[in-house]
Amino acid sequence: MPRTKGSKNKPKTVTADFTTQIAEKQSAKDALTAEIASITANMDSLKADLKEKKASLKAIDKEIVKLEAKKAKADAKAAEEAKKTEAESVLKKLLAEGMSADEILAKLK
């Protein structure tokens, strides 16, 4: 096989215009910088919105806990009233049947 002519280590001549390449890269860099700035600003506004929403969620959770406590207290009070009225009706029924107070107390124990 014949050898190739000329040196492989021969420096290649570059006829590119470096100033236009630098200008292109600089414009791409400026565009990316502007895009990063807009994304950062958007993130900051979203973080502020998130913080506000979390605060309102926390306030609503506190209100729910308070309302649940009030509901439990009202339910307990209603149950106690129901027991009281039931006991009174049983007592009236037993008195109407002719039982004495001592017999009723003995029956309750």
Domain that includes residue 68, residue range? 18-108
User: How many angstroms from the chain centroid is the CA of residue 78?
Assistant: 35
Q: Please, which pLDDT band fits residue 106 given cuts at 50, 70 and 90?
A: confident
Residue 13 has pLDDT above 90, yes or no: no
Question: Does some domain include residue 73?
Answer: yes
The CA angle 104-97-81, to the nearest 5 degrees, is 60
- Total number of domains constituting the chain: 1
pLDDT single digits (tens) 16-33: 688 888 999 999 999 999
* Contact present, 104 and 91 (Cβ < 8 Å): yes
- Is 76 inside a domain boundary? yes
- 6 domain residue, yes or no: no
What pLDDT does 96 receive? 82
27 is a domain residue: yes
pTM of the entire predicted model = 0.53
Residue type, 76: A
Residue at 3 is within a domain = no
Measured at the alpha carbon of residue 86, what is the angle toward residues 85 and 91, in degrees to the nearest 5? 95
According to the model, what pLDDT value does residue 100 have?
A: 76
pLDDT, averaged across the chain: 88
With respect to residue 85, please indicate whether it lies within any of the assigned structural domains.
Answer: yes
Dump pLDDT digits (tens) for 60-86: 999 999 999 999 999 999 999 999 998
Q: Please, how many CA atoms are within 13 Å of residue 4, restricted to the half-sphere of its CB? A: 4
> pLDDT of 85-94, one tens digit each?
988 888 888 8
